[in-house]
Amino acid sequence: MTRYAHLITDENRKWWTLGAMCFALFMIMLDNTVVNVALPSIQKDLGASISGLEWTINGYTLSFAVLLATGGRLGDIFGRRRMFLFGVVIFAVSSATAGLAANQTDLVLSRVVQGVGAALMMPATLSIITDAFPASEAGVSALALAVGPVVGGALTEHVSWRAIFYLNIPVAIGAVTASLFAVRESRDNTVGREVDYAGVALLTGALTALILALVEGNQWGWGSTEIIALLVGAAVGMAAFVAVELRVKVPMVEFRFFSDRNFLGAVVVALIVSFSMLGVFFFLALYMQDILGYSPLEAGVRFLPSTLMIVGVAPVAGRLADRFGPRWLIAAGLSIVAASLYSFSGIAVDSSYLDLLPGFMLLGIGIALTMSPMTSAAMNAVAVEKAGIASGVLSMFRMVGGSLGVAVTGAIFQGSVGTTNFAEASPQQFVDALGQAMGICAGVAAFGALIGAVTIRAKRDTLSDEAAEAAVNFGGEQLARAEVAAGREPVAASDSAT
């Protein structure tokens, strides 16, 4: 490698660093969206059940959610570059095994390991990026959100659904190579070396039990011993998790943040907006291909009105939140999401894409109006030095919300259809079940709008949206601290709870 070391100079090192991290971040975020349009092909090729497809999504989001904060902590202790490289290797190897999966069990297990790799990569990725660049220069996640369905559709249609996982391998090789050349090691020497392993274990067990009960409840029977045991186990596990977090020295979740109503409202909103987004994307991808007969690429392209609205409206929403405060933007955004989901509740076997288009556009606008103000509300509720911890909690709730969205929507769907096998459901049964699920999800989104309006405060003179977006990224507190030094002191959670 020293043969090419002269290509890296002090002047261009940050650009090499940005390239390496953006490759990795793009890969992580792409896997949040790229799989949805491949679900019908996976179902047909592997003979997957509805619950099997749900676990294909939830295996990734769940392991990602529960290990995200731990990944950031391990990077602070052992070195962010080291943890990043470790995560990339895990992600690449599990992507290869996902592409080689012979059955749905192999695929789900590979997706779980992918989530572990992503959880180790992402905190270090964001720390390293925001250390060299302000938040406004790192819009990779928005790009991945926009192109994910199209990339997934094109690869599935013209190559194979397995190619969406193989795509990660050359990207990972590029990220590792650039990191070894350009990225300097960094860690946080001000923190101790404690890791909340007990909290990780309890939260993982509780959430897995809850999701498993929701996914399998219709098949096993909601009154069965297994489901009741899982639900009781989830409740006991969550109670034990809270008890542990209140006592350990370095908790995964600092529950004192929740005494601030802005932060509490923001994390509930984060859960609900992700619940809505992943749940609707999951089943609309199946609907457009299995019922309307679109190819994977045609289905992926038809998601673009939603994703492009998110990319285009989100920056505007951030500026509006700076000026007017986040409360009414969040309330309006989730109200629009609710209207979108309600419009999807009326879809039919012979609906055209023009019937779906207004709902897709409203969904993107609503999500965009919600996400950036939600982040600002959460980050402005805590002191700057706690921004990294708070961001881990916010991100965890977003990922958990996505898992719950797929699981709950799937449970409603399966209960309405009366089967866990796609082949046994008629097109009319499919759309009736989908309509019922979307109607209930619309009610959840409307409830989220009410939560946002009641809990989130009006505008306060705190951090700008740009600074809050930087602070939400692990290691990205520098921009926020600069504003504090300039005299715009953010409100700590303990001060704003009154």
Per-residue model confidence (pLDDT) at position 445: 94
Q: According to the model, what pLDDT value does residue 379 have?
A: 79
Please tell me what DSSP assigns to residue 382: S
Residue 360's φ and ψ, nearest 5 degrees, are -60, -45
Q: What is the pLDDT of residues 397-431, one digit of tens each?
A: 888 888 888 888 888 888 877 766 666 778 888 89
- pLDDT of residue 487 exceeding 60, the answer is no
Query: Which whole number is the average pLDDT over 138-146?
Result: 55
Closest to 372 measured CA to CA, from 261, 270, 258: 270
Q: Tell me what pLDDT residue 271 has.
A: 92
Task: Quote the pLDDT of residue 13.
Answer: 57
pLDDT at 130 over 70: no
SS3 labels along 330-361: HHHHHHHHHHHHHHHCCCCCCCCHHHHHHHHH
pLDDT interval class at 225 (50, 70, 90): very high
Neighbour tally for 226: CB within 10 Å: 13
Q: What is the DSSP letter of 474?
A: T
Instruction: Answer for the pair 220, 226: CB distance below 8 angstroms, yes or no.
Output: yes
* Residue 299 backbone phi and psi in degrees, to 5: -65, -40
Task: Tell me, letter by letter, the H, E, C secondary structure of 56-100.
Answer: HHHHHHHHHHHHHHHHHHHHHHHCHHHHHHHHHHHHHHHHHHHHC
| pLDDT band (50, 70, 90) for residue 132 | low
Confidence (pLDDT) at 106: 94
The CA distance from 374 to 329, in Å, is: 9
Checking if the pLDDT of 320 tops 60, the result is yes
